[in-house]
Amino acid sequence: MTRAGDDAERSDEEERRYVTPAGDDAERSDEEQRRYVTAPRTEIAWQRLSPRMLLIHPVHELLRELPLLIGGLVLGSTTGNQSWTVAVLALSAVVGVARWFTTSYRIEADPESGQVQLRAGLLHRKVLSVPRNRIRSVQTDARLLHRLFGLAVLRVSTGQETRGEHGSGAFELDAVRVEQVPRLRAILLAESPQPVDAATAEPVASSTVLARWQPSWLRYSPLSLSGLLTMAAAVGVIYQSGAFGPLQHSRLAKLGLEAAQRLGMAATVAVVAAVVLVASVVLAVLRSLVTYGNLVLWRRADVLHLRHGLLRLRERTYDMSRLRGGTLREPLLVRIFGGARLDAVMTGVHGAGESSVLLPPCPHSTAKAVLTGLVGDPDVVAGPLRGHGPRAAARRWTRALGLPLLIGAALAVLTVLKGTSVVPLWLWTAWVAIAAWCVLLAADRVAALGHRVDSRWLVMRAGSLERRRDCLATAGIIGWTVRQSPLQRRAGVATLVAATAAGVKRYPLIDVPEDQAWAVAAQASPWVADSIWARR
Amino acid sequence: MVDPAHPPSRRAPLRWAIGGVVPWLLLAAGQVVWIAFDRRLLWLHIVIAVVTVLGAAISLSVVPLWRYRVHRWEIGPQAVYTRTGWLVQERRIAPISRVQTIDTYRGPLDRLLGLANVTVTTASSAGAVHIAALDVAVAEHLVAQLTDIAAIGGEDAT
C-alpha cells in the first residue's frame, strides 16, 4: 500500500522532496533510514477487533456464499440429503469465526514515524502497513447488521490508492465499536477529538450545517437509471444462483405464459414494460431514500463532514486544506427538474464515484449555495461564462447532425430510386424524431460550452446529457496541454486540458479558439505567463 | 506562445520508422503463413496485402518525418515545454517546481541507436511531460539540469 506511489499515478505531496532521476530509490533509502533510527522499537501489542464480529462475520460469510447455499439447498432437495445444506452452513460459520481470530491491528505511538498495521487473512496471511503521517482521511461505514450491534467499519486512506477504496489493498478495521470511532479517528488523524454528541451522533453547536436532506429531494430520483440497474442486478443474482432453472418450470411461470397467450403479443409487451417502469421508479426512489435520507453535510473549522444512509450509515471527512474546487453536475434528467449534484475536487480523493460526492441530486440553489460557501466567490459558481465562439458551435452542430443527415439522405435516395414502398412511413417518423432530438442536443451543448478564468479560479462548463461545471483552484493546476486533432486545426480551435493532482486529474476545456487557449492558461497560471515562450 | 526550440535527435525518425514498421511486418508474416495454408478467397488476400503494404509504407516514410517536424522540447527556468504528435498534436507545459520525478527510459531499439526518452512527472497523472528520442548525452544533460532547477524550488507539489 505504501508502495502504491511507485507507478505513474503518484498523487499528492508524495515524494515531492525526492526530485532525482531515481526518485524511488531516494525515497527507499530515506525510509530505511527512518526505520533504522527507530529500530529499537518497543513491541506494541496487537489488538483484536470487536468480539461482536463473532456474530456478524458468519452471517456476512453466509450472504457472500448465498449462491453456494442455494446450490446446497437444491442439491439437498434433489438428492434427498440435507447434509449438504448443513455442511455449507457450518463451513460459513467456521470461516466467519476464524476471520475474527485471524485479524488484528495495532497503532504505533509516534504520529510521525509510527505505522498503523493490520494483520489479516485466513489462508493468505498479509500485513498492511500505513505510515501514520501519510493518513489523509478516515471514513466509517456501518451496514445494517453492524449498526444493530453498535459497530462501524473504519477505513483509513492515504489518498494514494486511486483505484477504488474497496480494493483488496484497502485498510479497513471491520469492525470497531461506534463509541471508539471518534477516539480512533482523532488518534489516526493526529488531531483533537471532534466533539460529536455520541448519543445522537449529531454535529455539535460549534459546527455549521451546510446542507440537510429534505424529502423533496426525492423528486430527482424517479427517472434515474439506478432502479433499472437494481433490477438487472437482482435478475443476475437469481440467474447466477441457479434458481432460474427450477423457476422456469414452476407454476408461476406457467401462469404467466398462459396469461400472455390470452392477452396477445402487443398487450403483453405493454404490460411488462409498464410493470418494469413502475418497479424501476419505485426502486429508484427507495434506493435514493435509503442511501441519502438523513444526509447531513456540516463544516467544523477546516474539516467537512458528510454523513448519510438510513440503513447503512456512512461518514466521511474532508480536509478543507486539500480542497481544490468543486464540480456542479447536472445530468439532463436532474436538470429538467431544477436539480444538481455536487462533487468535491480534492487531492487524495478519487474524483469520480461515491468517494467524492458532497451532495446527491438536490435543488440547484442548495448545491450552488454549498459550493459558494466552499469556494467563497459567488461568481465562480453562478457567474456568466465566456462562450467559445461560432466555430466551436459549428463543430457541435456537425457532430450531432452529421449522422442523422447522412441517414436521411440515404433514405431519400432509396425512396427516389425504389419507390415509396421500400422505405416505410414509420422509418421516416423515427428519423424525424431522432433528428429533432439531435438538434435539441446540439443546441443545448452549444449553450453549455463556456469558461471563466481569473487568477484564482478556472471555471469550465460543457455537456448536455451529463452537464458539468468544474470550478478549479488555479493554484492546484500543475500542467497545461493544448491538443489539436486535424479537424480542430482546420477549424482553428483546440482542447485545453488543465492537469491537477485533485479530483479526476484531467479537466478538459473543449474547442477553445486557438488564440485564446494559451491566454486562458496564462491568466490562470503565472508560471505560464512568465515563461520564456510567452514573453519571446 | 512560441513553440519550444529543440528538435529530437537526428536518429529519431529512424527509431520511429523501425518501431512503426514492426507491427506491419508481423501482420505480413501472418499473411504469408495464411496464404501458405489456404489459397481460397484470393481477392481477400490481395486486399489485405495492399492495406498492409500501404500501412507499412506510411509508417515507414510519412509518420517519422511528420513526427520529426512536430516534436520539439525546451527547458525554461520555470517550466518544461514540449510539442508532440503527428496527426493529433499536443503542446504540454509543466512547472519545474511541481516536478516529482524525472525518469529516463531506454528500450532495446533506443539503446541500439543511442537514444533515450525522458519523462517528467508531476502529481497529476494528466500532466506528465514526455520528451522522446533524445541523444543520450543530451538526455543526461537535460536530467542533470532539471534536477538542479527542481532542487532549488521548494513549493508544495500539489
Chain segment A449-481, per-residue pLDDT in tens:
999 999 999 999 999 999 999 999 999 999 999
How far is the C-alpha of A230 from the C-alpha of A283, rounded, in Å?
7
Q: What is the pTM of this model?
A: 0.78
How far is C-alpha A209 from the geometric centre of its chain's CA atoms? 23
Is B26 in the same domain as B86? Answer: no
Please work out, in degrees rounded to the nearest 5, the angle formed at the alpha carbon of residue A31 by the alpha carbons of A27 and A34: 140
Which chain A residues touch B104 with a CB distance below 8 Å? 21
The predicted pLDDT at position A402 comes to: 93
Domain assignment present for residue B157? The answer is no
- C-alpha to C-alpha distances, A278 to A238, A274, A283, B28, nearest whole angstrom: 21, 6, 8, 56
Nearest-neighbour CA in chain B from A56: distance (Å): 40
Is B122 in the same domain as B54? Answer: no
Residue B64 lies in domain = 12-68
Domain assignment present for residue B4? The answer is no
Least confident of A120-124, A213-217, B64-68: A120-124
> Does residue B93 sit at the A interface (CB-CB below 8 Å)?
yes
The predicted pLDDT at position A244 comes to: 65
Is B27 in the same domain as B97? Answer: no
Nearest-neighbour CA in chain A from B50: distance (Å): 25
Is B64 in the same domain as B77? Answer: no
**Main-chain phi, psi angles of A323, to 5 degrees:** -80, 125
Residue A209 is which amino acid? V
pLDDT > 70: percent of chain A: 85
The neighbouring-strand residues paired with A130 are A116
Domain assignment present for residue B5? The answer is no
Average pLDDT over residues A58-68: 80
Is B84 in the same domain as B145? Answer: yes
Average pLDDT over residues A14-40: 38
DSSP of A166-177: TSTT-EEEEEEE
The predicted pLDDT at position A31 comes to: 43
Scanning every residue of chain B, which has its alpha carbon at the shortest distance from the alpha carbon of A479?
Answer: B94
Indicate the residue of B92, B101, B147 with minimum beta-carbon distance to A15.
B101
Number of structural domains chain B divides into: 2
Smallest Cα–Cα separation from B72: which of A512, A517, A533, A506?
A533
Domain assignment present for residue B3? The answer is no
What count of Cα atoms within 13 Å lies in the side-chain half-sphere of residue A265? 0
Residues with Cβ within 8 Å of B99's Cβ and at least 6 positions away in sequence, in order, are A19, B80, B120, B121, B122, B146, B150
Would you say the ipTM is above 0.95? Answer: no
Among A161, A533, A535, A536, the strongest candidate for a mutation testing the B interface, having the largest count of B CBs within 10 A, is A533
Which chain B residues touch A527 with a CB distance below 8 Å? 78-79, 95, 97
How far is the C-alpha of B156 from the C-alpha of B158, rounded, in Å?
6
User: pLDDT tens for residues B52-99?
Assistant: 999 999 999 999 999 999 999 999 988 999 999 999 999 999 999 888
CB contact under 8 A, A499 and B127: yes
How far is the C-alpha of A453 from the C-alpha of A48, rounded, in Å?
52
Q: How many CB atoms lie within 10 A of CB B149?
A: 19
Q: Is it the case that residue A86 has pLDDT exceeding 50? A: yes
Nearest-neighbour CA in chain B from A40: distance (Å): 32
- C-alpha to C-alpha distances, A234 to A228, A245, A254, B85, nearest whole angstrom: 10, 16, 21, 47
Is B77 in the same domain as B94? Answer: yes
User: pLDDT tens for residues B128-150?
Assistant: 999 999 999 999 999 999 888 87
User: pLDDT tens for residues B4-32?
Assistant: 999 999 999 999 999 999 999 999 999 99
Which of B37, B68, B99 is the endpoint of a domain? B68
How far is the C-alpha of B77 from the C-alpha of A31, rounded, in Å?
31
Domain assignment present for residue B84? The answer is yes
User: pLDDT tens for residues A368-410?
Assistant: 999 999 998 899 999 999 999 999 999 999 999 999 999 999 9
Scanning every residue of chain B, which has its alpha carbon at the shortest distance from the alpha carbon of A5?
Answer: B123
Is B82 in the same domain as B18? Answer: no
Is B16 in the same domain as B37? Answer: yes
The predicted pLDDT at position A472 comes to: 95
Is B60 in the same domain as B93? Answer: no
**Main-chain phi, psi angles of B83, to 5 degrees:** -130, 130
pLDDT > 90: percent of chain B: 72
Which of B68, B87, B112 is the endpoint of a domain? B68
Decide if B119 contacts B129 (C-beta within 8 A).
Answer: yes
Q: How many residues does chain A have?
A: 536
User: pLDDT tens for residues A352-362?
Assistant: 777 788 999 99
Scanning every residue of chain B, which has its alpha carbon at the shortest distance from the alpha carbon of A502?
Answer: B124
Nearest-neighbour CA in chain B from A34: distance (Å): 21
Among A481, A496, A530, the strongest candidate for a mutation testing the B interface, having the largest count of B CBs within 10 A, is A481
CB contact under 8 A, A531 and B78: yes
Highest mean pLDDT among A17-21, A206-210, A491-495: A491-495
Is B91 in the same domain as B134? Answer: yes
Is B126 in the same domain as B55? Answer: no
Is B59 in the same domain as B125? Answer: no
Domain assignment present for residue B89? The answer is yes
A194 vs B131 pLDDT, higher one: B131
> Does residue A505 sit at the B interface (CB-CB below 8 Å)?
yes
The predicted pLDDT at position A222 comes to: 82
- The CATH number of the domain holding residue B123 is 2.30.29
Decide if B52 contacts B1 (C-beta within 8 A).
Answer: no
Helical pair A53-64 and A66-79, crossing angle rounded to 10 deg: 70
Domain assignment present for residue B1? The answer is no
Which of B68, B96, B114 is the endpoint of a domain? B68
> Does residue B70 sit at the A interface (CB-CB below 8 Å)?
no
Scanning every residue of chain A, which has its alpha carbon at the shortest distance from the alpha carbon of B92?
Answer: A481
Q: How confident is the model at residue A340 (pLDDT cuts 50, 70, 90)?
A: very high
Domain assignment present for residue B6? The answer is no
